[in-house]
Structure 1
């Protein structure tokens, strides 16, 4: 079994820190207990009923919480050369979904991350952009 060790340099904490206090405990639980695909499914289809019952959070705050947790979780993914083009495209789509701009290109997403002073997310998006460019060629 392998454990992934996160440092302040490998995880974008800015988004989670921006959440209302009432949503932070839920954010920690879903960050820890759910896979990225599960988070995306909840973002698209609705919050897990068990979570809704456990954490009494308004629907608009749930949406924000999911978006911020998805962005935080994305920042933990390493962009490796062995990732296939389809994987890179999917990561781009997920980032765009979480930023609320489903059709945005990566340059636009980088700008949005810069506006939020999310330097780790900016670096991650730039790595994704480079990888996508290399895989296209």
Structure 2
């Protein structure tokens, strides 16, 4: 999976969100409860895991994501990007000030070890 390179390099904090609903419009943060903050090596490892997700074909489920991450730079103002994961349809939707249109919707193989490791990481912080 491809993340915006400049945003990855600038990320100092990742906020992990357990999604509770789908927003009314595309491009706004997904509502939910913040369940963890990853900084330092935790953030670097999580981003590397996400970048290592192998691509896949689209599956149909209607996009009901369970998790998202929001990446922040040192100022902690607006998120650099939010990546929202649906492990049913194998889709990631991203938005934010650093996300080019070509990266906004991507597909990953949710049945691979990297994807299952990411899901386990999410479940560790909020079962």
In the superposition, the TM-score normalised over structure 2's length comes to 0.29
Q: Which structure's CA Rg is the greater one?
A: 1
In the superposition, the TM-score normalised over structure 1's length comes to 0.28
